[in-house]
């Protein structure tokens, strides 16, 4: 048996899906597209029921890519049962999709989710009458508490082909007739939650609230990330992994090409994660020991903000700014994700509709949105002389983000559509869905980013041993010395930074750079090329041709930014 869960966005469809299915959920892209949907299964008696969580849609006459996929899944699974999830608090609008689904003449079951919220809001729906009018079973549920889900599963066998029919031009009239008969609404007052809902979408206090929420989020991320490092990751690497690596090093004789590739250089006979640079030492420590805790912290906070329902409001508040960059408010999502790790950030540019938007969002993310790992490196480099240098680097990246966006908006051909997004009411996050979402995002980081980071470590070390890096450094040194004002020795470090920014930082550290040079080096390392994992992701998302354009923009803009900083900043500040 196969079930399609279908409904509007934000009706708790995924919460129902997560209630039904266990941990073995497969998230896949629909063939040939980039819209994701999940598939899972449950066992009832001896039968296995496959469940597909179809992307949320308002209509079967698609208006965007996610809706196109929803329609395609519906057509490609002709033997499935449709479970149509409605929001009991928003019955009228939910029924629009139902009216289109009944025309498909397939066995159907209607689920009235958020039943408790509706009751709370004084809305009563007569399930019996609705059932008779539609001609298929209706089940009230509350996915967050799990109420009614079991009943829903039991009713699956009773799914019927609906008797109701409607014509496209009569849909809203027919819905009106149903509403009059099944729904009663008691008068009620504005409650506190609605007032908060309203307040955050006004320019004032919305902008102030947005600022406070973003600051609080970053404080929380630092607190969680640092706590995890101190309590878990540092002891793990220092006390558990280091002795193992030392033994390995001894077993390999403590030197030689293979030893240096795998363990790296020993500093005073010891492994130093910051300076050894071997595959199993620094190579493992950077993604797992230094970055993973922050990535976890970041996605926890972001997923909470998302599930509460704040992000669409942030999109509204930031839409004016995003418009100047050829994007619209929803593009804050990939940008925010990019602060954790650029890879999921770039993957999520899929939510944008046109090629122009995706190109601008991906390019800006790769150039001017520093990921957790990059932030740590910049802190180690430019933050050495206090926060002044650090602030200057991040402000520069902010300015680059805006200026480059304004330029790209004019240069890149194509459409930048206007924002069009439902603002769902604030709600308490469903913890199951929340945990699953965080787990999926961490998995993205581990699966899509870390292997490439390790590959980058390997290639960079190989090139270094072959002398390629030194040669390239010598060729490029006029750019780094004349335009960027860095010492000649820094050229090699910048070249290494194409593949390994951690090594670049390690090579720049002993050069005794001035604060001005540290700031410029940090800006260049952040901008001129993404890490190899991001690079591979961009090639996959944008295609080689657009990635080549994007890379040219990266290199050019980093040279210009560094040149300007070199001209503008006084030698000592």
Partner 1 sequence: MSVPVSMSALKAGEKGIIAAIRGGPGMVRRLNALGIYEGKTVTKVSAQWMHGPVIIRVGATDVAIGYGMAGKIIVLPEAKALP
CB of 339 to partner 1, least distance (A): 23
Structure tokens at 210: 């947005």
Decide whether 82 or 378 has the Cβ nearer to partner 1: 82
CB of 317 to partner 1, least distance (A): 7
Do residues 245 and 251 make contact, with C-beta atoms less than 8 angstroms apart? no
- 419 vs 479, which CB is nearer to partner 1? 419
Cα distance between residue 378 and residue 382, in whole Å? 6
Nearest distance in Å: CB 96, partner 1: 6
State the minimum distance, in angstroms, from the CB of residue 138 to partner 1: 19
Radius of gyration in angstroms for the set of CA atoms belonging to the chain, rounded to a whole number? 27
- Closest to partner 1 by CB, 140 vs 329, is 329
CB nearer partner 1, residue 149 or residue 322: 322
Q: Copy the structure tokens of residue 214.
A: 């973003």
User: Whose Cβ is closer to partner 1: residue 225's or residue 424's?
Assistant: 424
| Minimum CB distance to partner 1 smaller for 61 or for 75 | 61
Find, among 327, 329, 402, the residue nearest to 360 by Cα.
327
| 136 phi, psi to nearest 5 deg | -145, 155
Of the candidates 40, 140, 148, 329, which one interacts with partner 1 according to CB under 8 A?
Answer: 329
Please spell the DSSP secondary structure of 227-286, one letter per residue.
Answer: HHIIIIIHHIIIIIIHHHHHHHHHHTTT-SHHHHHHTB--BTTB--TTT-B-TTTHHHII
State which H helix or E strand residue 362 sits in.
Answer: helix 355-368
Closest separation in Å from C-beta 445 to partner 1 = 30
What's the min distance (Å) between Cβ of 318 and partner 1?
A: 9
Size of the site for partner 1 (CB under 8 A): 33
Q: Could you tell me if 501 and 531 are in contact, meaning their C-beta atoms sit under 8 angstroms apart?
A: yes
Do 341 and 445 form a contact (C-beta atoms < 8 A)?
yes
Decide if residue 90 touches partner 1 (CB under 8 A).
yes
Angle between helices 311-324 and 332-340 (to 10 degrees): 100
Structure tokens at 105: 């003449």
Distance of alpha carbon 302 from alpha carbon 438, whole angstroms: 9
**Binding residues for partner 1 restricted to 213-252, rule: CB under 8 A:** none
Binds partner 1 by CB under 8 A, chosen from 250, 251, 320, 475 = 320
Encoded one letter per residue, x for contact with partner 1 by CB under 8 A and - for no contact, window 193-212 reads ----xx--xxx---------
Tell the smallest beta-carbon distance from residue 352 to partner 1 (Å).
14
| Closest distance to partner 1 from the beta carbon of 421 (Å) | 5
Given a contact cutoff of 8 angstroms between Cβ atoms, the answer to whether 348 and 334 are in contact is yes
Pick 96 or 310: Cβ nearer partner 1: 96
The contact mask relative to partner 1 for 135-174 (x = CB under 8 A, - = no) is: -------------------------------------x--
CB of residue 431 vs partner 1: minimum separation in angstroms? 25
Using CB under 8 A as the binding rule, the residues of this chain from 2 to 61 that contact partner 1 are 58-59, 61
Query: Rounded to the nearest whole angstrom, what is the least distance from the CB of residue 165 to partner 1 in the complex?
Result: 19
- Write out the two tokens for 400: 């680059």
Residue with smaller CB distance to partner 1, 222 or 324: 324
- Angle among Cα 244, 245, 248 to the nearest 5 degrees reads 90
Would you say 62 or 451 has its CB closer to partner 1?
62
Q: Minimum Å distance from CB 69 to partner 1?
A: 16
The one among 134, 286, 311, 315 contacting partner 1 by CB under 8 A = 315
Render 5-50 in DSSP notation, one character per residue. EEE-TTSSHHHHHHHHS-S--EEEEPTTS--EEEEEEEEETTEEEE
- When the beta carbons of 93 and 104 are compared against partner 1, the nearer one is 93
**Which of 312, 326, 485, 506 forms a contact with partner 1 (CB under 8 A)?**
312
Residue placing its CB nearer to partner 1 in the complex, 77 or 92: 92
Q: Say which residues have a Cβ less than 8 Å from residue 56's Cβ, sequence separation at least 6.
A: 7, 8, 9, 10, 11, 13, 66, 70
Residue with tokens 């009706």: 11
H/E run at residue 87: strand 81-87
In this structure, the number of other CB atoms found within 10 A of the CB of residue 230 comes to 11
* Smallest gap from residue 433 Cβ to partner 1 (A): 22
CA dihedral 83, 88, 90, 91 (to 10 degrees): 70
Strands of the sheet with 108-113, listed across from one edge? 26-29, 36-44, 47-53, 2-7, 81-87, 108-113, 138-140
CB of 199 to partner 1, least distance (A): 10
Least CB distance to partner 1 at residue 187 (A): 12
At 90 the three-state DSSP class reads helix
Q: Is 423 in the site for partner 1 (CB under 8 A)?
A: yes
Question: Which of 164, 419, 462, 559 is in the footprint of partner 1 by CB under 8 A?
Answer: 419
**Interface with partner 1 includes 326 (CB under 8 A)?**
no
Quick one: how far is CA 3 from the chain centroid?
28
Closer of 93 and 540 to partner 1 (Cβ): 93
Among 82, 85, 317, 341, binds partner 1 (CB under 8 A): 317
Site string for partner 1, 379-418 (x = CB under 8 A): --------------------------------------xx
Given candidates 108, 209, 291, 316, which one binds partner 1 under the rule CB under 8 A? 316
Tokens for 490, please give them: 């820094």
Kindly tell me which of 119 and 476 has the beta carbon lying closer to partner 1.
Answer: 119
Q: Rounded to whole angstroms, how far apart are CA atoms 222 and 210?
A: 18
In the complex, least distance from residue 335 CB atom to partner 1, rounded to whole angstroms: 17
Residues 6 or more apart whose CB falls under 8 angstroms from that of 405 comprise: 324, 325, 326, 327, 360, 364
Distance of CA 430 to the CA centre of its chain: 19
The contact set with partner 1 (CB under 8 A) reads 58-59, 61, 63, 89-90, 92-93, 96, 172, 197-198, 201-203, 312, 315-317, 319-320, 323, 328-329, 417-425
């Amino acid at each position: 048996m196969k079930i399609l869960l279908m409904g509007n966005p934000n009706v708790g469809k995924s919460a129902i899906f997560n209630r039904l299915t266990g941990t073995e959920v497969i998230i896949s892209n629909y063939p040939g597209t980039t819209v994701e949907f999940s598939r899972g299964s449950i066992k009832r008696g001896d039968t296995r029921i496959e469940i597909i969580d179809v992307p949320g849609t308002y209509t079967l006459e698609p208006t965007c890519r996610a809706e196109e996929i929803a329609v395609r899944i519906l057509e490609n699974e002709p033997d499935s049962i449709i479970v149509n999830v409605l929001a009991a608090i928003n019955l009228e609008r939910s029924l629009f999709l139902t009216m289109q689904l009944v025309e498909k003449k397939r066995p159907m079951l209607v689920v009235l989710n958020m039943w408790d919220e509706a009751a709370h809001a004084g809305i009563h729906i007569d399930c019996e009458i609705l059932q008779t009018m539609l001609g298929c079973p209706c089940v009230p549920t509350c996915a967050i508490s799990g109420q009614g889900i079991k009943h829903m599963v039991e009713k699956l066998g009773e799914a019927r082909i609906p008797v109701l029919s409607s014509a496209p031009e009569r849909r809203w009239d027919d819905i009106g007739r149903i509403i009059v008969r099944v729904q009663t609404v008691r008068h009620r007052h504005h409650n506190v939650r609605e007032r908060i809902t309203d307040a955050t979408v006004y320019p004032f206090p919305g902008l102030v609230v947005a600022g406070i929420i973003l600051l609080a989020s970053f404080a929380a991320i630092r607190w969680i990330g640092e706590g995890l490092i101190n309590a878990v990751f540092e002891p793990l690497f220092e006390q558990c992994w280091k002795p193992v690596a030392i033994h390995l090093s001894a077993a390999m004789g403590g030197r030689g090409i293979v030893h240096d590739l795998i363990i790296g250089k020993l500093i005073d006979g010891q492994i130093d994660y910051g300076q050894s640079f071997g595959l199993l030492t620094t190579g493992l420590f950077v993604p797992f020991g230094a970055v993973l805790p922050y990535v976890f912290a970041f996605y926890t906070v972001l997923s909470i903000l998302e599930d509460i329902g704040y992000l669409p409001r942030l999109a509204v508040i930031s839409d004016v700014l995003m418009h100047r960059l050829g994007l619209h408010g929803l593009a804050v999502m990939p940008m925010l994700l990019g602060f954790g790790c650029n890879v999921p950030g770039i993957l999520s540019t899929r939510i944008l509709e046109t090629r122009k938007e995706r190109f601008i969002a991906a390019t800006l993310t790769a150039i001017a949105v520093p990921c957790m790992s990059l932030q740590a490196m910049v802190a180690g480099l430019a933050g050495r002389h206090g926060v002044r240098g650090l602030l200057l680097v991040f402000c520069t990246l902010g300015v680059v983000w805006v200026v480059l966006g304004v330029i790209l908006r004019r240069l890149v051909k194509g459409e930048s559509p206007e924002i069009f997004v439902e603002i769902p009411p604030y709600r308490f996050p469903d913890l199951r869905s929340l945990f699953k979402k965080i787990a999926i995002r961490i998995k993205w980081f581990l699966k899509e980013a870390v292997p490439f980071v390790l590959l980058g470590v390997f290639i960079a070390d190989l090139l270094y041993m072959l002398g390629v890096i030194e040669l390239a450094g010598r060729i490029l040194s006029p750019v780094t010395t004349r335009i960027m004002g860095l010492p000649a020795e820094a050229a090699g470090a910048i070249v290494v930074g194409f593949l390994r920014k951690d090594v670049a930082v390690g090579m720049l550290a002993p050069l005794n750079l001035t604060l001005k040079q540290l700031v410029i080096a940090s800006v260049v390392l952040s901008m001129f090329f993404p890490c190899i994992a991001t690079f591979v992701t961009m090639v996959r998302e944008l295609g080689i041709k657009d990635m080549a354009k994007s890379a040219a923009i990266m290199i050019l803009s980093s040279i210009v930014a560094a040149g300007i900083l070199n001209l503008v900043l006084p030698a000592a500040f």
